[in-house]
A and B are shown apart, each in its own frame.
Chain A
Amino acid sequence: MDLGKVNLDAPHSMGTTIIGVTYNGGVVLGADSRTSTGVYVANRASDKITQLTDNVFVCRSGSAADSQIVSDYVRYFLHQHTIQLGQPATVKVAANLVRLLAYNNKNMLQTGMIVGGWDKYEGGKIYGVPLGGTIIEQPFSIGGSGSSYLYGFFDQAWKEGMTKDEAEQLVVKAVSLAIARDGASGGVVRTVIINSEGVTRNFYPGDKLPLWHEELEPHNSLLDILNSTSPEPMNI
Chain B
Amino acid sequence: MSQVAVEAPPKGGFSFDLCRRNGMLSKKGVPPPSYRKTGTTIVGLIFQDGVILGADTRATEGPIVCDKNCEKIHYMAPNIYCCGAGTAADTEAVTDMVSSQLQLHRYHTGRESRVVTALTLLKSHLFKYQGHVQAALVLGGVDANGPHLHTIYPHGSTDTLPFATMGSGSLAAMSVFESKYREGLTKEEGIKLVCEAICSGIFNDLGSGSNVDVCVITKGQKEYLRNHQLPNPRTYVSSKRFSFPKKTEVLLTRITPLKEMVEVIGGGDIMEE
Binding site for B on A (CB under 8 A): 3, 6, 8-9, 11-12, 35, 37, 40, 42-43, 45-46, 63-65, 68-69, 226, 233
Flag if B170 contacts A8 (CB, 8 Å): yes
Contacts A3-B171, A65-B127, A69-B127 known; 20 new A-B pairs at CB < 8 A: A6-B171, A8-B168, A11-B155, A12-B155, A12-B157, A37-B153, A42-B153, A43-B151, A43-B159, A43-B161, A64-B157, A65-B123, A65-B126, A65-B153, A65-B155, A65-B156, A68-B157, A69-B124, A69-B156, A226-B179
Within 172-206 of B, Cβ neighbours of A (below 8 Å) are at 179
Find the A residue at minimum CB distance from B155: A65
- The answer for the CA separation of A73 and B159 in the assembled complex, in Å, is 18
Question: How many interface residues does B have (CB within 8 Å)?
Answer: 21
Residue B131 interfacial (CB < 8 Å): yes
Q: Tell me whether B158 is interfacial, beta carbon within 8 Å.
A: yes
Residues A68 and B153 in contact in the complex (CB < 8 Å), given A11-B131, A46-B159 = no
Binding site for A on B (CB under 8 A): 123-124, 126-127, 131, 134, 136, 151, 153-159, 161, 167-168, 170-171, 179
A12 vs B155: C-alpha distance when bound (angstroms): 7
Knowing A11-B131, A43-B159, say if A68 contacts B123 (CB, 8 Å).
Answer: yes
Interchain Cβ contacts under 8 Å between A and B, 9 examples? A8-B168, A9-B154, A46-B159, A63-B157, A65-B123, A65-B155, A68-B158, A69-B156, A226-B179
Tell me which residues across on chain B come within 8 A of A8, comparing CB atoms: 136, 167-168, 170
Known: A68-B123, A233-B179. A63 touches B155 (CB 8 A): yes
Nearest chain B CB to A132 CB, angstrom units:
20
Kindly provide the distance from the CB of B179 to the nearest chain A CB, expressed in whole angstroms.
7
**Chain B contacts of A64 at CB under 8 A?**
153, 155, 157
